[in-house]
Structure 1
Amino acid sequence: MNLAERLDTNALRRPGLPAVVTRDIVITHAEFRDMVCRRATRLAELGVSRGDIIGVNLKDNPEHLAALFALARIGAAALPMDWRWTVAEKSRLADFFDPSVVLSEPEDPFIRIDGDWQSVKTNSDWRSAADAADPDATDLADGDPPLLLALSSGTTGIPKGPLITHNQFFARFMIYFVTLGFTERTKYLCATPLYFGGSRGYSMCAIYAGGTALLFPPPYEMPDLIDFADRNGATKMFLVPTLLRRVLDMPPRDDGKLLLPGLDMLFSTGSILHEEERDALMRNVCPSYLNFYGSTDGGGATALFWHDPPEVSGSVGRPVFGAEIDIAGDDDRSLPPGEIGRIRYKHPGTATGYHNDPDASKTAFRDGWYYPGDLGWRDVAGYLFLAGRAKDLIIRGGVNVYPAEIEHVLNQHAMVMDAAVVAWPSREFGEEIAAFVVLRNDNIDTEEILSWCRKNLARYKLPREIFVIDDLPKSGVGKVLKHELADRLTPLD
């Protein structure tokens, strides 16, 4: 199948209804289909073909969504690149994944980097050339072409890239249809960056279904977000826990109504809310609140619904549509309810391996199962409880932050001998970032190291604090004992 084919149907069935809405413009389904097809033709004229990897280094705007569907039409794989990253971060990613073309904002300094890829500025010249292209000149790629190199954690400072096909991504759409109720009447409010997997998937699904993606990217003030939701009739919204807490800080409406009365569902992922926060959210914001557990590599695994009993509020719920969850012991045999082991799951939307990383693929994908690296247990009713992460992933405000990438940057500083990064419990963000460094001498302060980080890392990856220590605690084989570092930290209020 080809996901972009659905745009043809939407343009015929719902031509004048909105597909994408921003603060300034409305793009109908007929207009969006035309926009996508013309950009597909223009990309083909630039040499893009089926199977190519194309960097998408764009802001959270209609051009970003059009690029994703245009590449889907051709059968090329989109490589997400967060436009907020530094040039160094983008260069490392491009060097590893070797895209043939990178689409960038015209003011992005990355376009001046001399790499093996072709840089395309999405400026007025790009838009003019794309708008002049023949919308019917590019055929839909058939079969099950690659769609997306979704990015996951890596151990060398470079994220892993699970390759997702059209069929696999559609299987994830099925979860959204069944679990979240996405239909042609859906108006999904995208209030988080399109670079993030959930934001991208939900927005594309809303358009695919014949509904609307309402783009309201950060930064913004909460009253403005609520006003935008009201004015545009938002029916569904995804927010990370940090943003949910900011919604809860809003004063109640004068009329006594819910803060977001038009929503039929509010959902989140990442760290679990405190029970009192979840209750307040359902009482004051949206009664239908759902929390997902899953991953970029495997897609959605479980969901905890608003109607689930209070005694399981500390769980991450039960399997979503099409998913099978299991707890495995060290011998890979299934464990009974109540026993802690390695979580593994599978469904038709799960990736089957990582691009150009066979060793990591063998570890994470085995016998049809995906192993996310988390530990957990199930109760007799099938609810999944997390017992900790086998890996060191930090979830800051619902956003995955990979310690290995930050450690890679720290260790590149001339005065840093060794570095380790761990999660720092935070009530506001769920987890903050703590860095421990061993210096080569004392003629440097941590502010200079933080300045180095600012040049090489996006803001949300910056350590909250850098602690200077004499030595990192290590095992007999030289492995850093991160739990000992984490034990030194007092949770942040």
Structure 2
Amino acid sequence: MVNPLNVISSVPARVGSGAEEVIDLARRTDVTVRNVAEYLRYGGLQIDEETSPFDVVASEPVYRLRHYFADEAPPGLPALVLVPPLMMATEVYDVAPASSSVRAVHECGIDVWVVDFGRPEHEVGGLDRTMGDHVLAVSDAVDKVRAATGRDVVLSGYSQGGLFGYQAAAYRRGDGIDSLVTFGAPVDFQSAPLPIPMSMESYASVAEALLGTKVLDHISLPSWFNKAWTRMLDPMATIKFKLNYYLALSDRDKLLPGEQQRQFLENEGWTAWSGPAIREFLQQALVMNRMLSGGLVIGDRTVSLADIDCPIMIAVGEADKEGHPLSVRGIKRAAPRAPVYELTLRSGHFGIVAGAGARKRTWPRVAEWIEWRAGKGDLPAAIVPSDEVTSEVAWTPGDVSNRVRTVVDLGIGTSSTVIRAANSALTTTQAVIRERGSQVPLLNRLDGLQSATEISIGLLLDESAKRNPDGIALMFGDRVIRHRELADRIDAVVKGLISLGVRQGDRVGVMMSARPSSLALVAAISRLGATSVLLRPERDIEKQSTAGGFRWLISDPERVRAEPVPGVQWCVLGGGQNRTLAEHVIDMEQIDPDAVAAPAWYRPNPFRGSDIAFVLFTGDGADTRTRLITNRRWALSALGTASAAALRPEDTMYSRTPLHHPSALLMAVGAAIAAGSRLAFASAPDQDTFWEEVARYGATHVSYTWTSLREIASGPRHPNERESPIRLFVGSGMPHNLWRRVNERFAPARVLEFYASPDGEAILANVTATKIGSVGRPLPGTAEVRVAKLDKQTRQLAYGSDGLARACPPGEPGLLMARSDPRVPSRNLVRGVFAANDSWQLTGDVFTEDSAGDLQLIDPADSLIETADGLVSPTRVQNALGRISSVDVAVAYGVAGGNGDAAGNGDAAGNRDDAAELLVAAVALFPGATLTQWELESTMRRLDRNHRPHTVAVVKKIELSTWARPLTSGLPQEIPMPARGTTIWRLDSDGESYVRAR
């Protein structure tokens, strides 16, 4: 049969114009029909172009390492390792010869290697991979390429591949990496617009809900979904592209140059994304923004991009929505020690690395960067230090209107459009969103705590291990300890205790630094049903042993004394196994837990609320006393702090406080355990370590005691400080002047000051108050409190003529009383206080309550200084002196030789009170500062006359306790004060002026 189209095509060219149009139409129709048929049959036009040659030089479970143009790469060439993103095939770097990334770089004289993750849906275990698996694979590839080439490599990645590169560099601390080159790799996920039509508030809620389920543990995203999702990000562009393609099907020559790229994006370019990797990405990168704030976990190590110090070049697409320029540029803040350079391109996300534009503009600049790093050329003019980038890419009006309109149509809300204008405000808002409603289970448990309730530190850790075995329990140094690992360690230590002969109800001394072994030991003692006696290492061990009543003392190896303690078996735990110890010491690490049989009486976590969990110490020397902490008392503090601090499992509590200090045990450590949060122990107290570990752990909450934040708040600014993840400083005893400095320097982070009565269940916190010095109000579920009138002569309760106490009006100092259950035996219990048959506990502390109902600690009643003019609060004097800008630390105290007036001449009648003390003070100034007479006088005039110190000494140093409380030891204890090494100011006889002593 004769084909009419062939007949038409054979018609002579010399025909009329109308015939020509008919023939041309017929020819175009023929081509179109053929192209459509080919498209329908094969999914596109057939092309006979070969991909770039490569050798697979290594094949590992997670990846294969490709070496491109291996036969054409002579030794000595600079090595580039390319990392593809998830969801896209490795061939993104070699889509077509005309737009091939690997070919373009190879032609510039670069040795090209590519990490091939394969198609997870076709790989054994591919759909079980985590983000960490990919990062470790990249790190392993760096080792292999470095070994093969004998030189450091340039590590490069596109989109998520760039994130893998960043994390691998941080994981390796830059070892073996010459520089990093990334393309459209987003880092800051909270300051830039999302590539989806959803407000950040709604996104956070959806992500939280999804992460709260186990869905992602069982499903993955197939390749077709990833392709469809990407198209949904810009549906109009997708429709326009398809329409243009269909209209051009009559012009094969026009379509062929871009056909391979189109087929890549339409078909084989997409891969599946495993559920565990999605979960990790949502939680670490998106919800917690850990790429910027720190706290990433790779394998069993903590990682922060702040550890990167090698040069970084970022390729930024100004039209990129998936890797928005604001997010991509976040690497400068995430890695403050790294020199960051930028190549700014007028391109979208895919066009940065693929297409003719990338071959002309991106890859030649990358090659020039590599040559510059190799010392063979100059830095390209198009690549500039990020500080010099003038491009101000933000949401365009079209972006804003389209997204806002879509959000409104979806009924989601538009408040985030305004919130995104300020990054710090956005971060704070997101924190509030994440915390919404999360504290209800804690509050419910707090409200249900009774004396008979089964509760203990061992029980709560057990629950976390069962609820989230692979969750992170503890971080220390570079180590990550998961709940299941901690549970196994605790069980092993329990066996060790049993082998020592420890039984339920026994007391065990603990003298250890804050480290994983100390937490495991305290938890094991609790799980066994024994009691931990937490010693203060700097105090007399024999006195603490006598007061604590323990038969076993377990310490770090470095704390072992040469001589034994009478009546006490010394043991060591942690610190490795290969060591030589004294004969009187038992090494618990040598005990094989599998060889120890559990006795018949052993039942894990037998403690109830009324049982004694811990013994702490107060006082010194002959005044050494014990404080007994019941499990209920510990749980009240732990659950109360967790709820007040809005701690969540993904948060990190960074504890800088010794474990034997109440604020560490009851608040920092207790709160993290109660909330199932990540707990991190500081490895050293210095400022550099603090900021390095805050970034590495992603610390959202930091514990403090007294002046422990002095160096942090007053020292030079650290690079990691700029993007601090800290939301709350949690602790007790912070002086007012330090509190102000912390507020000013670390805003929007704030101080959450706690008070816990030495005995009883009064637990206060300034949850909503922002008043400096306030400890707020009682936490839900804790005891009701009142401030009662104080008898200034006896320092006890003042009773009225009816025999009852009276509550103090706002502003009047009085004794803090905590309502108590009369059925529960307790020290300092008083009955019939405000009404017949009521029961209250004396806390022994003096408080004031303001008109809003917020409480402020003045001083312990026995710390008030008895002067000839009445009782004086040393804390009020210290806080007043702290208002002077030059004062770093201040202490006020009494010395013998009290007199009626400042000059020591007695009262108005000439009488002397030899039992009274003189009020004196000492101040340590900031380096290079001086204390002027005007500053001292103007500040002291704000105080009542009896609170103005007789003498103020400017000293070089004020000693601090191990938990940073200012001490008077080493300061002058008599009048006249010695002048050597000090500047002395004395109150004049007018009670107003200060004169410098000569």
Q: 1:387 to 1:467 in 2, by over 3 A?
A: closer
- 1:344 partner amino acid: M
Alpha-carbon offset, residue 78 of structure 1: 0.8
Shift of 1:229: 0.6
Q: Secondary structure at the match of 2:525?
A: helix
Could you say which residue in structure 2 is the equivalent of 1:444? Answer: none
Hey, what does 1:464 align to over in structure 2? Answer: 970
Q: Give the structure 1 partner of residue 612 of structure 2.
A: 146
Q: Is the CA contact (8 Å cut-off) linking 1:188 and 1:206 kept in structure 2? A: yes
User: Cα deviation per residue 1:270-318 (whole Å; 9 max; x = unaligned)?
Assistant: 14323xx53442343142322222344346632234x536xx5354322
How far apart are 1:92 and its partner, in Å?
0.5
Secondary structure (helix, strand or coil) at the match of 2:640 reads helix
User: Counterpart of 1:203 in structure 2: which amino acid?
Assistant: V
**Would you say the 8 A contact 2:787–2:814 is kept in 1?**
yes
For the Cα contact (< 8 Å) 2:760–2:826, is it kept in 1?
no
Deviations 1:326-355 (A, max 9, x none): 11231262314234321122579xx9546x
Structure 2 portions without partners, runs of 5+: 1-453, 578-586, 790-797, 865-873, 880-890, 894-916, 927-958, 977-990
User: Is 1:320–2:779 an aligned residue pair?
Assistant: yes
Task: Give the structure 1 partner of residue 818 of structure 2.
Answer: 345
- What is the Cα deviation at residue 8 of structure 1? 2.9
The equivalent residue for 1:216 is 682
Cα deviation, 1:363-410, whole Å, max 9, x if unaligned, reads 89x96533232223323321223444311289999xxx9x9xxxxxxx
**What is the SS of the residue equivalent to 1:60?**
coil
Deviation at 1:117, TM superposition (A): 2.2
- Please list the CA deviations of residues 441-492 of structure 1 after superposition, one character each: whole Å capped at 9, or x if unmatched: xxxxxxxxxxxx9xxxx9986713253579xxxxxxxxxxxxxxxx9xx9xx
Label 1:28 to 1:368 Cα distance change in 2 as closer, same or farther (>3 A): farther
- Return the offset for 1:212: 1.6
* Residues 1:273 and 2:732 aligned together: no
- Counterpart AA for 2:786: D
> Match of 1:268, as an amino acid?
G
Once the two structures are overlaid, the 10-residue window that deviates more, 60-69 or 367-376, is: 367-376
Looking at structure 1, the residues matched to 967 and 597 of structure 2 have their Cα atoms a distance apart, in angstroms, of 40
1:135/1:352 CA distance change after superposition, 3 Å = farther
Residues 333 and 153 of structure 1: CA distance in aligned 2, closer, same or farther (over 3 Å): farther
The C-alpha deviation readout for 1:390-440, integer Å capped at 9, x for no partner, is 11289999xxx9x9xxxxxxxxxxxxxxxx9999554679xxxxxxxxxxx
Aligned-residue RMSD, C-alpha: 3.8
Contact preservation (8 Å) 1:260, 1:285: no
Corresponding residue number in structure 2 for 1:292: 754
- 1:67 & 1:172 partners in 2: Cα distance? 20
Offset, 1:232: 1.2
- The alignment partner of 2:649 has SS state of coil
Asked whether the equivalents of residues 817 and 843 of structure 2 are also in contact (C-alpha less than 8 Å), the reply is: yes
Greater per-residue helix proportion = 2
Contact 2:639 2:671 in 1 (8 A): no
Q: In the TM superposition, what are the counterparts of 1:40-439 in structure 2 within 5 Å?
A: 40-85=494-539, 89-110=540-561, 112-122=563-573, 124=577, 125-129=587-591, 132=594, 138-144=602-608, 145-153=611-619, 156-159=622-625, 161-201=626-666, 202-218=668-684, 220-252=685-717, 259=722, 261-274=724-737, 277-287=738-748, 288-298=750-760, 301-305=763-767, 308=769, 312-321=771-780, 322-329=782-789, 330-331=798-799, 333-338=805-810, 339-346=812-819, 353=826, 361=828, 368-392=839-863, 424=921, 426=923
Distance 1:286-1:190 versus aligned 2 partners, 3 A rule: farther
Q: Provide the C-alpha distance between the structure 1 equivalents of 2:536 and 2:619, rounded to a whole number of angstroms.
A: 15
TM-score, normalisation: structure 2: 0.37
3-state SS of the aligned residue for 1:49?
coil
Matched residues in 1 for 2:966 and 2:554: separation? 23
* Paired amino acid for 1:182: L
Change (3 A) 1:128 1:26: farther
Q: Is the 8 A contact 1:294 1:302 kept in 2?
A: yes
Deviations along 1:47-100, one digit per CA (max 9) or x if unpaired, are 111211111111221111111101111111111112333xxx111010122202
CA displacement 1:141-173 (0-9 Å, x = unmatched) = 4251321113334794212x2322222321222
Residues 18-56 of structure 1: CA deviation (Å, up to 9, x unaligned): 211111422111010011111112112211112111111
Verify the 8 A CA contact 1:317 1:384 in the aligned structure 2. yes
Between the two proteins, what is the percent identity of the paired residues? 22
- Alpha-carbon distance in 2 for matches of 1:207, 1:337: 39
Amino acid at match of 2:545: A
Q: Are 1:58 and 1:82, in contact at CA under 8 Å, matched by a contact in 2?
A: no
* Range that drifts further, 131-140 or 58-67: 131-140
Kept after mapping to 2: 8 A contact 1:192/1:199: yes
CA shift at 1:126, angstroms? 1.3
Shift of the alpha carbon at 1:176?
1.4
Alpha-carbon separation, structure 1, partners of 2:731 and 2:639: 18
Q: 1:468 to 1:56 in 2, by over 3 A?
A: same
Distance change (3 Å), C-alpha of 1:333 and 1:459: closer
Aligned pairs, number: 405
> Partner amino acid for 1:139?
R
Q: Which amino acid in 1 is paired with 2:849?
A: R
- The one-letter amino acid paired with 2:809 is P
SS at 2:755 equivalent? strand
Asked which structure has the greater CA Rg, the reply is: 2
The alpha-carbon deviation at position 231 of structure 1 amounts to 1.3
Structure 1 gap segments, 5+ residues each: 355-360, 404-419, 430-452, 471-486
Contact 2:617–2:624 under 8 Å retained in 1: no
Which of residues 433, 446, 466 in structure 2 aligns to 1:12? Answer: 466
CA distance in 2 between partners of 1:387 and 1:146 (Å): 29
Distance 1:130 1:213, change over 3 A: farther
Q: Structure 1 residues 345, 280: CA separation in 2 closer, same or farther (over 3 Å shift)?
A: same
2-structure distance, mates of 1:131, 1:260? 45
- Contact 1:226 1:259 survives alignment (8 Å): no
**Partner SS, residue 862 of structure 2:** coil
Is residue 507–residue 530 contact of structure 2 (8 Å, CA) maintained in 1? yes
Q: 1:243 to 1:40 in 2, by over 3 A?
A: same
1:383/1:58 CA distance change after superposition, 3 Å: same
Look up the equivalent residue of 1:317 and give its one-letter code: G
Contact kept? 2:653, 2:678, Cα under 8 Å: yes
**Residue of structure 1 in register with 2:71 after alignment:** none
Judge conservation of contact 2:510–2:555 (CA < 8 Å) in 1: yes
Residue type at the aligned position of 2:743: M
Q: Deviations over 1:175-203 (max 9, x none)?
A: 11321122322311011211111112321
Cα pair distance change 1:422/1:141, threshold 3 Å? farther
Q: 2:687·2:715 contact (CA, 8 Å) conserved in 1?
A: yes
